């Protein structure tokens, strides 16, 4: 026998609501497809038959009935919230990177590279690249990058001067 998804028993009210969602032209297409998948699952069709009828992937045919069981019709209307991406770097880390680039030199090197700054601060080279771009620091484009000797400099952009830049 063909494999079916979850066993769903729909009440008359739920079936009427799902059929209204599936047939209403003003319903978002993704919600209408989800409603069709649940209706076909309740009718006892196999996974492959639902996939063909709803033009949906196998994972959708498996997941949406499960979501309907957990959250009801409202679960079909809303997408699950996703975890946010990585948290942005704290301002203290950004300030430290810029201050290191502007006021100091690494051991055994003439100037900081992206990778050296990244390793010294425990962040990625791409993060260092973004931080330097935010502050307009471009030591890689100049012939010589002059480190500021002003103790009050901090990480202000004007303290970083370069010779031979355009």
Give the DSSP letter string of 124-154: -HHHHHHHHHHTT--GGGSSEEEPP--TT-T
Choose between 29 and 155: higher pLDDT: 29
CA distance 105 to 111: 6
Domain boundaries, the chain: 12-77, 91-163
pLDDT for 78-109, tens place per residue? 887 777 778 888 999 999 998 888 888 888 88
pLDDT for 7-18, tens place per residue? 888 889 999 999
120-133: b (≥16 Cβ within 10 Å) or e = bbebeeebbeebbe
């Amino acid at each position: 026998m063909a494999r079916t998804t979850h066993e769903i028993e729909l009440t008359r009210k739920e079936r009427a609501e799902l059929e209204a969602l599936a047939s209403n032209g003003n319903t978002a297409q993704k919600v209408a497809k989800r409603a069709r998948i649940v209706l076909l699952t309740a009718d006892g069709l196999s996974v492959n038959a639902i996939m063909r009828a709803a033009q949906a992937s196998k994972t959708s045919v498996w997941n949406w009935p499960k979501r309907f069981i957990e959250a009801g019709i409202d679960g079909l209307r809303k997408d699950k919230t996703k975890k946010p991406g990585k948290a942005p770097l704290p301002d203290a880390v950004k300030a430290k990177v810029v201050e290191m680039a502007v006021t100091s030199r690494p051991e055994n090197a003439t100037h900081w590279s992206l990778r050296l700054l990244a390793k010294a601060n425990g962040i990625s080279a791409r993060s260092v690249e973004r931080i330097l771009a935010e502050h307009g620091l471009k030591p890689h484009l100049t012939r010589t990058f002059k480190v500021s000797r002003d103790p009050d400099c901090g990480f202000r952009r004007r303290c970083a001067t370069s010779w031979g830049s355009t």
